[in-house]
Amino acid sequence: MWPRSVSYTHLDVYKRQPLTTIRMAAEVLHAHRARFDPPAARSSELLAAELDRFEELLTDLLEISRFDAGAAELALDDIDLVALTAEEIDALQRLAAEFGTVLTLDADAKCIAEVDGRRIRRILRNLITNALSLIHISSPAREPAAVRSCLDLAPGRHGRGRAPPRD
């Protein structure tokens, strides 16, 4: 466990130093991939891509941790969750295509909620990316797959990233 005196900036540095070393080694391998046999060359490409994804996930995790610890303030706004989800799906279409998948959104109406849009966007990105990985693993024959998500906006329900009920 980290002592309380260690700031999130220091924690960020501690997490990124080993990642920087791994990234440098991966870049050397990737730069020389033409010299490798096809399976090894493909492995260096996968390593580079997965390191990019891991770095994004680490950044997301560190930001979420800052919110959870109260080191960062939520920026609450009325956000249309359907529009935000559509934007994230559009942003992830290229990644989905790499998995041989097409992302679609089936939503007719707006869904306005008072949330921190940046945080919800990061959560959605992580959920969609994880779903793409799982669909790729569980459906090698490219069978149709669906991921359904539901946000419980019932009265009295709130959590991190959502505003408490107004009085």
d(CA 130, CA 117) in angstroms, rounded, equals 20
Whether the predicted model's global pTM rises above the 0.75 cut: no
Q: How far is CA 81 from CA 20, 85, 87, 135, in A?
A: 35, 6, 10, 23
Q: Residue 114 in contact with residue 144, Cβ under 8 Å?
A: no
CA gap 53, 56 in Å, rounded: 5
Binned at pLDDT 50, 70 and 90, residue 2 comes out as very low
Cα angle 154, 167, 122; round to 5: 50
Tens digits of residue pLDDT in 39-97: 999 899 888 888 887 887 777 777 777 777 777 777 899 999 999 999 999 999 988 88
Average pLDDT of the chain? 76
pLDDT score at 86: 92
Q: Say if residue 1's pLDDT is above 70.
A: no
Residue 94: what pLDDT?
Answer: 87
Burial of 94 (0-12, 13-18, 19+ CB in 10 A): exposed
Predicted confidence (pLDDT) at residue 12 exceeds the cutoff of 90: no
CB 51 within 8 A of CB 23: yes
pLDDT the model gives residue 32: 93
- For residues 64 and 122, the answer to whether their CB atoms sit within 8 Å is yes
